[in-house]
Structure formats: structure tokens, C-alpha cells
Structure 1
């Protein structure tokens, strides 16, 4: 009589043999479904990439969309599709994300530097196309560029570029993985 269970080499649990699978059809390294989903989750949520390599040391086989649909849970497939879309949209040179932290929309800005104020079609907030920051109210791009050259301006530019306003308290924050940090504000 054939064995109905097998030990997974990653989690060391005794798992039903039908629950073993490979991450990709390009290789035949098999582990249990739970370990595969945990591996995919790590790439999507921790590394933030859709380029998911086989878990086997030295194997560089990459998972494809059909593999994802075959082995992953529904929520991981949705996360993969979302990240794939964002990765693809970043390839459009004139595309910018809205800088309103409550918006999440983006658009292509065909006027480029000729008309640097980009008004979001979803929330109508202004973004500077040239500097990819919230619109520098009261300053032209040239003035902003000069100010950015000073230490204070460089600090302000970095804060505007790398942080977002917290939707609850309004303080500028940045995320590192799952952790959220409060930044020092500037005048």
C-alpha cells in the first residue's frame, strides 16, 4: 500500500502526498502547499516583488503567472496581480502617482516639464511632475530647485519625496516593511 503522507523538507510536517507541489513548472523541487504560499507571501509582502524564485538553494527558476494561479491562494494571486500592474505602470516614463496619501491614483502627464503642475483626475490634488513631489506651493520649479540645493531645501525635498502624510494625524510618516515611523517635520 503506498504512503499517503510525506515529510515536507521545509516545515518538517507530515503532509498528504497530494498536497506536495513545485513552485514553478520549470523545475521539480516540491514542498507542501503551505510552505509554497508562505514563500510567495514573503516575496510579495516583504520584498515587494513579483519575481519569485524557487525556494531550492541554487535554483533560479522564476514563477510565472500560470504557476501562481496553479499553486497560490486567492488572496496571494490578487496581491501578485496588483504588484504586477504597479510594476508594469512604472515602466511608462510620463506616469506619476498622485502624492495625496488618501488617493492612490496615478496618471500619465503628457505636457511634461512644459506644464509641470499635474492635477490628479481622481482627487484634484496638485503634484509637481518635474520633481515628483506634492506641488511646491508659492514657488516655481526653478525656485524650488534653488531651494533644494540648500541643506534645508534638500531635507525638505527628501522628506516630501520619501514620506506621506498620515491619513489620521497628518504627520509625515514612512514605512519600512510593516513598521511605520514618524518623521520630524520641517518649517
Structure 2
């Protein structure tokens, strides 16, 4: 006689546990594998869905928890009643959505920087490391550049008269000003630059501390800042030109320029 077929175990046969968040009995697969934080000493009694909602609500409300020396430990409170555990960044990332954790991480990084003297974050786009930077080894360096210096004005040389003495001579002189100037090339010392370089211990990327930008190798701080300013001024001028010569398409909002047809179409 063939054995009776095995009956598949249904969710009704599984042991259920009460979630303290939604007050609903749920199967073990609906709970996380561990407590909200490593500080927790209680049983796992908050389901995955409720824990995710709890983290999102705390982040949106700005209900953060700080502890430790000078409040350097930053996180969220455990949702279990009476638990004093703190959900740190790794715990929040495990429980929250990517969007919610991104918001939490931004605020946490700002908190660490504000409460840790000398703290700097790496400026490399794909690095999230940070460390304490000591600026005591910074060196002030004065750079020397060449510049054209204009001397005092001198009387102009007499303009030769035309041989025909006519005031309507076809020849034109290149001297239009009432006075001429003399120029000389001189060396000028610029404002001292503070060479203070931050190097990330995790990825090795370097950054200029005075400029708070990735390190501009081969350029002084003044040269780098002037180059950036010139580029921004050029971009602003380009945007102004676009605004003057174009209009927004009423359908898609893209800047367009009319080059023919009825002038009343735009």
C-alpha cells in the first residue's frame, strides 16, 4: 500500500507571535532576523513592516537620539517600550528604505561633523569615509606672479601733418587718446596661500582644506578660485544670453528660438 502523500504545511499550522507595533499575530517570516539594535536585550517583537514605518516616522519627525561623550553617538530609539537601545546607522540602513536611510545618513553626517573638532568628510564622490584632520602642519606660501604695471601718463607725440595739408586725408592715425602711457612688466607678490591638504585614509583622495574642494594640483588657491569664478561668470553670461534670445516652449518647457515664420507664434 502506497504511503499517504505528505500534507504541505500551511501558514495556519505555523506558530504565530504578537507584534507590539500593530498588535497582530504574525508568522516568524514576517519578523526581522535580529533586534532593532545590538543594545536590545528583549525578544524580537516588532514585525518588519512596523519597524520600517517606525524608522520612517522618526526620521521625518526629526526624533533622533544622541548619547555618549559629547553626544557623538547618533541614531534612533528602539520601538520596544522601555528599551533604551539606540539604532545606529547600520541598524537604520537594515530596517529602512533607501530613500529614508539617505535622509538619515545626511543628518547623521552633519551631526558628526558639528560635534567632532577637526572632523572632515572625504570629498571623493564614491567615498563616505571621514576622519579627524590636523591643520597644525599647514604652511603659508607666497606666490610671485608677473603683472603689467602702467606708469604715469606722458605727453603724446605730435601727429605728422598730411603733405597736402588737407583735413580730409585718407590716412588715419592709430593714436586716438590725448595721452599715451608707458607699461612695464614687474613681479607682484600675491596674497599668501595656506597649503593644507587633507588625505582620506580610506581611498587616498586629497582635498584642499582652505578651498574645501578636491585638491587643485599645480594651482595655488588664488589661481584656482579665480578660474572657478571666471567659469561661473561665463556660465551666468551664457544663461542670460539664452534667456534673452529664447522662450519656453508652451508644451514641453524646453528653451526654443524662432528663426522664421509668423512672429506671433511665440
TM over 0.5: no
**Whose radius of gyration is greater, 1 or 2?**
2
TM-score of the two chains, using structure 2 as the length reference? 0.32
Q: Which has the higher helix share?
A: 1
TM-score of the two chains, using structure 1 as the length reference? 0.42
